[in-house]
Structure 1
């Protein structure tokens, strides 16, 4: 079939998928247990054909205020529920979401451009996260503190009340679960703002909570970060903020919260290293390097985007990595054979394209990729072929700045100390990777890398049981694990003074 016909067929297929996905639902803000109408709808666009999927209303100041108020109303009921009841409600929600898995996966695929199999896997990851917090909700405890004979001293963990949460556009369903799960398990009510680029699954997940939680426990406000998001973060009745996104916006959120002494959790950017030692299994190392920067088209906060490779295996590693990069199939995410979709929005396509130009101008060698594919059938989408840069120096921008796209840089090292120095020569500290067959090197490097998450001989997996957060400018606090629940609660110490018993 000629490219023009394939391009037309792809467009018609996606427009039909839009219609099918939205046939029985309306995407609107979810406030107080019901959908509400906003103002000035803005389109969320399909990155494959660059066409609107639907227009989503914007929540103005009045609607954000309404969401916060009904969340506090809901808190009066939710805070009285036992941990067991909160667990049961979360489990019921997971059951309903499971019944709508195909629907949610399609929405995620259309909104983000991820291959349908990846979108489905990420929605399943969201469900497993909520499932985990349903279990954790039952196991929460205070503690009794031994003090003295006439004093009974104990702690109790109390929720903040209403928490404000902001999620990014790269993993909308999964990120929503990371926020909702621990907040609700801890006894809070949530007002969550998804990215204006990819709000569909988050809104639909909230709609599917209808009748399960008391009204006001889950609220989703839609709109842009500088409008809806700013109103939410500045709201004086929001007691805790959790934000995932860029470092620059994270700083603004932190400054805003500081004005009213509200605690924050920030999961920000990264420029994560993968250290490949000379004893590494080369196929394993290349698998980690490829998955770490090409999965989700490289739009990953903890992408292993800096391969730091021992000089003895550098050339072999590069040859294998280039071959792997060139093996990806760019195409329609609705097709099973597609292994790499487009970037999620036009702005990110321009950013990645600019960084490829910057890298070449800095003197790095573009070994493969980095441009739009020749296939004219993909011309409407935000596609970039997986890139590999060699001859990369530590002071180059492509080695220091977060690109957030399918661009791998390769540097070399001679000694262990040099490898660790290169790995830690960054303002970020979200993740790191180690490829080695030596247990000694694996554990020592994991200790020496300044990052909140370290992967050994693989990229991932990310499990809900493990705290997830960064060092340095990659953030404060943690999503996931029991640590996340603790960060949505405040400990209260109670002193009960006792007299001698009398009969």
Structure 2
């Protein structure tokens, strides 16, 4: 049994009251580690440590020195990538093939933002006032709280830490109670890299016990959150009361749109990637498949045949393609939505039940599920399932496809499959989403902004947009006049 501790102020510590909780392997169903169950007092300790670090060595470092530390951290992540990937698989059931690729990519985030650290430049303004010198400077917000979801804990933490640290902030990270281990292992590397004590703190536990106190803490300047729409709404309301900054990366009900002129073989793979990769447990899941009427039957038939061959089983095996559902509550939720879809009249062409294959062991598996003849007003088409459940919807032409795609409370992502250059250029302008993929799906980069419209969230992660989310602008005015003019008149 692995026993973890939290990192607060550079020290590995238990919860103040000594309480712990367990984490379970979603494939075996076995408890494999215990973690501290933090409370209000632990949240206060972590914020105090981050606030102290903000005024200490970290603030006195040059931006170039901060950037070099982030690059050093990148090298350590690359060194231990295999170990980190295996811990993620054990903790959340994601495929080892996916986690090797994902964790292997994380060093690039720190190299990119480490390189940007000393490129944060203010400006001298050609101000319209005589005898006046005016310039701007960009400064860190202060203590930031990063709260991450269980589906990709390390990636989601790095999305916040890399730009926020490059900008000079300090952090308290609260990973999901279902998947905290990899974040604590990452924190060891940050300490080894020489990042000053208190700059990165990690507390573990439950949202109502330690997450809420962190969000409410008066010394916290910003919250970066990835998770459910309901969780994001509560955090946003709390942040507003304290006039805190917030970046919210929330849910999605993304439309993956296939036109008759598309390369159908590639589009089938894109549809599979959009919903069955990561067992559908991703905010950008292409859970609404919109197919042009003239090819609907042929395309859906091909899709079903392809999905039937998906290999389920042990996520630690490189050949596995569909792994377990990460958490028991999510497992239950997915099955409930399958029942809802059947009751609404959607036609189940594949799956629609718990997977009982021998290779699934004692894990929480749901068969890859495809529903046909779905209307966009059905709950299965409007509400986020966050699992391997696909809704297939017919459309006639471009206008109807865009109308259906935009008829959603969410606006995170969309996919377009077409050979028509005009359509590939024009239709992304009409989609009310933050990310559009054309003839591809589910690609991300540290260089490209990530975030949604509508109820899919606020702000952007990745790229130059991300570092701006962790900065505030100061305007400095210097008079060069020999004497002060009329003090009763605004200058």
Judge conservation of contact 2:314–2:359 (CA < 8 Å) in 1. no
Could you tell me how far apart the structure 2 residues matched to 1:143 and 1:397 are?
50
* Pairing partner for 1:136 from 106, 116, 123: 116
Q: Deviations over 1:466-485 (max 9, x none)?
A: 11111001111111111111
Tell me, what secondary structure is at the counterpart of 2:137? strand
Q: Does 1:401 align with 2:387?
A: no
Please say if 1:45 is aligned against 2:24: yes
> 1:321 & 1:484 partners in 2: Cα distance?
36
Contact 2:451 2:458 in 1 (8 A): yes
Instruction: Spell out the pairing of 1:234-249 with structure 2 (5 A cutoff).
Output: 234-249=216-231
Deviation at 1:83, TM superposition (A): 1.3
Corresponding residue for 2:305?
A: 323
1:8 is matched with which residue?
none
Distance 2:404 2:52 in 1: 51
Is the 8 Å Cα contact of residues 170 and 344 (structure 1) preserved in structure 2? yes
For structure 1, which segment, 288-297 or 365-374, has the greater mean C-alpha deviation from structure 2 after superposition?
A: 365-374
Out of 162, 166, 173, the position equivalent to 1:185 is 166
Please state whether the residue corresponding to 2:191 is helix, strand or coil.
Answer: coil
Whether the 8 Å CA contact 2:133–2:478 is kept in 1: the answer is yes
Match of 2:140 among 159, 181, 195: 159
Q: Distance in 1 between matches of 2:377 and 2:439?
A: 27
| Aligned mates of 1:374, 1:382 — CA distance in 2 | 10
Out of 40, 50, 74, the residue aligned to residue 53 of structure 2 is 74
In angstroms, what is the RMSD of aligned CA positions?
A: 1.4
- 1:89-488, aligned counterparts within 5 Å? 89-148=69-128, 150-211=131-192, 212-488=194-470
Q: Which residue of 1 aligns with 2:6?
A: 29
Aligned partners of 2:355 and 2:241: how far apart in 1? 48
2:42 corresponds in structure 1 to 63
Q: Which range moves more in the overlay, 117-126 or 188-197?
A: 117-126
Q: Report deviation, 1:114.
A: 1.2
Tell whether the 8 Å contact from 1:368 to 1:387 is kept in structure 2 after alignment. yes
TM-score, reference length from structure 1: 0.93
The Cα shift of 1:390 comes to 0.3
Alpha carbons of structure 1 residues 196 and 73: separation in structure 2 relative to 1, 3 Å: same
- 1:272 and 1:59 map into 2 onto residues whose CA distance is 35
> Are 1:492 and 2:471 an aligned pair?
no
- Alignment partners' CA distance in 1, 2:104 and 2:352: 31
Q: Show CA shifts across 1:406-463 (max 9, x none).
A: 1111101112111100000000001111111111101111111100111111113100
| Structure 2: distance between partners of 1:59 and 1:130 | 28
Residue 85 of structure 1 is matched in structure 2 by: 65
Per-residue CA shift, 1:266-320, capped at 9, x if unaligned?
1110000011111111012111111011111000001111011110111121011
| Cα distance in 2, alignment partners of residues 53 and 120 from structure 1 | 21
Separation in structure 2 between the aligned mates of residue 90 and residue 327 of structure 1, nearest angstrom:
42
In structure 1, runs of 5+ residues without a counterpart are 1-18
2:269 and 2:278 map into 1 onto residues whose CA distance is 15
For residues 324-375 of structure 1, give each alpha carbon's deviation from its aligned partner in whole angstroms, at most 9, with x where no partner exists: 2111100111212211110101111111111111111110011101222232
Q: Give the corresponding residue for 2:486.
A: none
Secondary structure in 1 matching 2:127: strand
Given that residues 92 and 326 in structure 2 are in contact (C-alpha distance below 8 angstroms), is that contact kept between their aligned partners in structure 1? yes
C-alpha contact (below 8 Å) 2:284/2:442 kept by paired residues: no
Contact 1:27 1:204 in 2 (8 A): no
For the residues of structure 2 that align with 1:450 and 1:53, how far apart are their CA atoms? 43
Q: Structure 2: any 5+ residue segments left out of the alignment?
A: 484-491
Contact 1:287 1:458 in 2 (8 A): no
1:12 alignment partner in structure 2: none
> How much does 1:398 deviate?
0.4
Give the whole-Å Cα distance in 2 for the aligned partners of 1:127 and 1:433. Answer: 28
How far apart, in 1, do the equivalents of 2:81 and 2:360 lie?
Answer: 28
**Superposition deviation, residue 56 in structure 1:** 0.7
Q: Secondary structure at the match of 1:254?
A: helix
Output the TM-score relative to the length of structure 2. Answer: 0.95
Question: What SS class does the counterpart of residue 484 from structure 1 fall into?
Answer: helix
Secondary structure of the residue aligned to 1:156 is strand
